[in-house]
């Protein structure tokens, strides 16, 4: 993958660029998106009628391409695929639906794959992280949750971060423009040392989660946070001290609950940790399905943890 080499020749065909992008060449994807941006914008302007909305739809298309380009089976059809994605986004906009990412894509990857799986497989992860680092923390964490985590509705992002849904909208509006432009500008500029640090942090969090899951030991995980860290929970409750998080984990462990790691994302002082609860057979509803932890800061500099529990599914007999 040419993360640090020259940009690919602009004389390459769409199919050649698409094949390179599917193999993880971030620069090839940048050239491909830049090549088709004028046509995408013209199409969006015809569909939506307003320049700001058209620009927004094009930025969304670029970000979706990062997530799904690996699933386009026919490289010769990449231009048509981009236009189809854009038109579906425009249709959602006309219907007033911007809260949830477009759900269905032509020739898309297996739905069982997560966005993070696709990014890992394409080796575009470092490119995305480098672009994210250019955003302020508030925009960065919101964009990470919305575009690359499991929680892609505005309501869920607002619940995790403990902010109004209007704030989520305004942050994403700003982040979308900056992120898509930064992605196009950052191909080939990845710093190997920073990439290694990010991967080391993700491996660390993952191993500590596995300690909780496999060994029932939470001490290593909790020890990564300072003693006086703030723990923000749903509903606006804020507790001070890692002891509160430790007590919750230990209570779950004592009840026979384990938390299986699902996804870990880190980026320059932000860690998003997603897990799936495994309840004991005798108490299958002890914990909700999943948990998301957003850690702001690194190690002893971590200042705040946002703790979000996934909604419980309806149970038989519930009204």
* Closest among 201, 202, 204, 213 to 275, alpha carbons compared: 213
- Residue 97, classified by CB atoms within 10 Å of its CB into exposed (0-12), middle (13-18) or buried (19+), is exposed
Q: What is the 3-state composition of the chain as percent helix, strand, coil, each rounded to the nearest 5?
A: 55, 10, 30
Mean pLDDT over residues 115-120, rounded?
A: 52
Comparing 14-190 with 193-309, is the CATH topology the same?
Answer: no
Domain extent listing, the chain: 14-190, 193-309
pLDDT in tens, 43-98: 999 888 888 888 888 888 888 887 778 778 888 999 999 999 999 999 888 887 66
> Which is higher by pLDDT, 319 or 229?
229
Average pLDDT over residues 148-177: 87
Evaluate whether 121 touches 70 at the Cβ level (below 8 Å). yes
Q: What is the rounded CA–CA span in Å between residue 134 and residue 132?
A: 5
How high is the mean pLDDT of the chain?
A: 81
Q: Kindly state the average pLDDT of the residues 268-277.
A: 88
Q: Which residue has the higher pLDDT, 27 or 170?
A: 170
| CA–CA dist 301, 226 (Å, integer) | 7
Amino acid 154: pLDDT: 87
Report residue 239 as tokens.
Answer: 């507790």
CATH number of this structure's domain 14-190, picked from the four choices 1.10.10.10, 3.30.750.24, 3.40.50.620, 3.40.50.1970: 1.10.10.10
Q: What is the pLDDT of residues 179-223, one digit of tens each?
A: 777 766 655 555 667 777 878 888 999 999 888 888 888 889 999
26-37 pLDDT, tens digit each: 778 888 888 888
Alpha helices (runs of H) in 69-189, residue ranges in sequence order = 78-94, 115-122, 125-132, 137-148, 154-161, 165-186
Predicted pLDDT of residue 9: 58
Written out in words, the top-level CATH class of the domain with range 193-309 is: alpha beta
Instruction: Sheet containing 238-240: give its strands across.
Output: 238-240, 230-233, 304-309, 290-296, 270-278, 258-266
Report how far residue 179's alpha carbon sits from residue 59's, in angstroms, rounded to the nearest whole number: 9
Alpha-carbon distance of 280 to 37, in angstroms, equals 51
pLDDT tops 80 at residue 10? no
* pLDDT at 229 (0 to 100): 93
pLDDT level of residue 129 (50, 70, 90 thresholds):
confident
For the chain, give the percent of residues with pLDDT over 90. Answer: 27
Task: Give the tokens for residue 35.
Answer: 């090549």
d(CA 29, CA 259): 36
């Amino acid at each position: 993958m040419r993360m640090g080499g020259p940009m690919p020749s602009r004389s390459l065909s769409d199919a050649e660029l698409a094949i390179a992008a599917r193999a993880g060449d971030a620069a090839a994807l940048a050239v491909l998106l830049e090549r088709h941006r004028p046509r995408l914008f013209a199409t969006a302007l015809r569909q939506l009628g307003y320049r700001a909305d058209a620009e927004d739809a094009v930025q969304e298309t670029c970000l979706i391409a990062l997530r799904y380009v690996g699933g386009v089976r026919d490289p010769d059809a990449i231009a048509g695929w981009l236009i189809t994605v854009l038109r579906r986004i425009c249709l959602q906009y006309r219907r007033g639906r911007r809260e949830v990412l477009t759900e269905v894509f032509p020739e898309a990857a297996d739905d069982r794959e997560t966005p993070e799986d696709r990014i890992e497989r394409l080796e575009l992860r470092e490119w995305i992280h480098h672009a994210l680092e250019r955003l302020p923390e508030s925009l960065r964490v919101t964009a990470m949750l919305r575009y690359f985590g499991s929680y892609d509705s505005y309501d869920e992002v607002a619940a995790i971060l403990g902010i109004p849904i209007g704030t989520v909208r305004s942050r994403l509006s700003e982040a979308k423009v900056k992120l898509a432009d930064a992605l196009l500008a950052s191909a080939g500029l990845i710093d190997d040392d920073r990439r290694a640090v990010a991967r080391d942090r993700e491996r660390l969090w993952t191993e500590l989660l596995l300690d909780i899951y496999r060994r029932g030991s939470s001490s290593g995980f909790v020890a990564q946070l300072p003693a006086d860290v703030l723990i923000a929970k749903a509903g606006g409750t804020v507790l001070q001290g890692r002891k509160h998080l430790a007590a919750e984990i230990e209570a779950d462990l004592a009840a026979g609950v384990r938390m299986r790691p699902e996804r870990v994302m880190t980026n320059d002082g932000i860690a998003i940790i997603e897990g799936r609860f495994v309840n004991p057979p005798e108490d299958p509803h002890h914990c909700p399905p999943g948990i998301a932890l957003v850690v702001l800061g690194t190690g002893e500099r971590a200042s705040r943890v946002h703790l979000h529990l996934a909604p419980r599914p309806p149970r038989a007999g519930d009204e």
